[in-house]
Amino acid sequence: MNQATAPLSLRHDWTRAEIEALFALPFADLLFRAQTVHRRFFDPNEVQVSTLLSIKTGTCPEDCKYCPQSLRYDTGLGTEQLMEVERVLASARDALESGSTRFCMGAAWRSPKDRDLGVLAAMVRGVKELGLETCMTLGMLEPAQARVLADAGLDYYNHNIDTSPEYYGEVITTRTFQQRLDTLANVREAGIKVCCGGIVGMGEERADRAGMLLTLATLPGHPESVPINLLVRVPGTPLADEPDLDSFEFVRTIAVARILMPASHVRLSAGRETMSDELQSLAFLAGANSIFYGERLLTTPNPACADDMSLFRRLGIRPAALPHGSAHAEGAAMPLATADTGLFYDAARA
């Protein structure tokens, strides 16, 4: 953050009218405002890179209409029980070598069983020993479960609210919006950073996108990471035939999120595989400064690593360095592509 120009405090008192007014700004004015805010808090040419691994796949009892992992929908997805710790660590090593600074582990559960917490904690400790930031998304968490993960050293917990409170029931009926907020509170109380955003393009109106961001921006603490997912229309799910969201509306959502939560990382998450380079570039201009890197996001496709690094090179974007104090953070080159892309990042010059 640029301490010389950033405001001393962040706003948590946004109103729906203010947010809807931001959405309604002329496109150029909105992007100018978002970019101006972004530059007060972040290097505009630096993007944080994360890797996401499915550590337990399929047979989720929830009915989220977008999700191929729900046991209620026939999507042809193969299932896999909770992975062994060493397999997870092998994937984390690969992520580190490819240049990711955060390793996220996701399990298709309504909530974790207490009997699994020891294995999950071992995963967290092992990934942290590699020098990576750690993140998990495991469904709902009780306070005691959050404390176990915090004691293991978990840095972030992801639990998206998905959409506005008003539209939520159109997408999910097996858990309430309030239960999602309760999990966020449990995570925050345990001292874990919050990763929370939503999905756009599920048939919601602009008012719902405003309502989703209103919820996030008026939490007692803004989520440190705000993933904005574009719906991936998976055959077999109820939203498989949902029409495309207008690309400019997607960028507007990124820009408004940046203005409302200026100190948060706003992440381009699911849906990038179908985005043009031009659309992603507009999203970065609007204030997105984090991506998931690697050809797979849990069970859905993601752009090839070489394609991401080619785009970064063309835009003059550099990936963020590893966390300060990591064994790999100082003076080490971060190879963020295979040799044929020609891009290597020297963290010592960051």
**Active centre residues (catalytic):** 60, 64, 67, 104, 135, 195, 267
Cα dihedral 169, 247, 23, 202 in deg (nearest 10): 0
Classify 133 as helix, strand or coil.
strand
Residue given tokens 């498989």 in the structure block: 240
Q: What distance in Å separates the CA atoms of residue 286 and residue 282, rounded to the nearest whole number?
A: 6
Strands (E), 98-245: 102-107, 133-137, 156-158, 193-195, 198-200, 225-230
User: In which element (H, E) is residue 39 found?
Assistant: helix 27-41
Residues, the chain: 350
What's the token pair of residue 208?
Answer: 């719902």
Q: Is the CA virtual torsion 68, 69, 72, 74 positive or negative? A: positive
Q: Is 333 helix (H, G, I), strand (E, B) or coil?
A: strand
Helical pair 247-260 and 27-41, crossing angle rounded to 10 deg: 40
Burial class from Cβ neighbours inside 10 Å (0-12, 13-18, 19+) for residue 314 reads exposed
3-state class of 228 per DSSP? strand
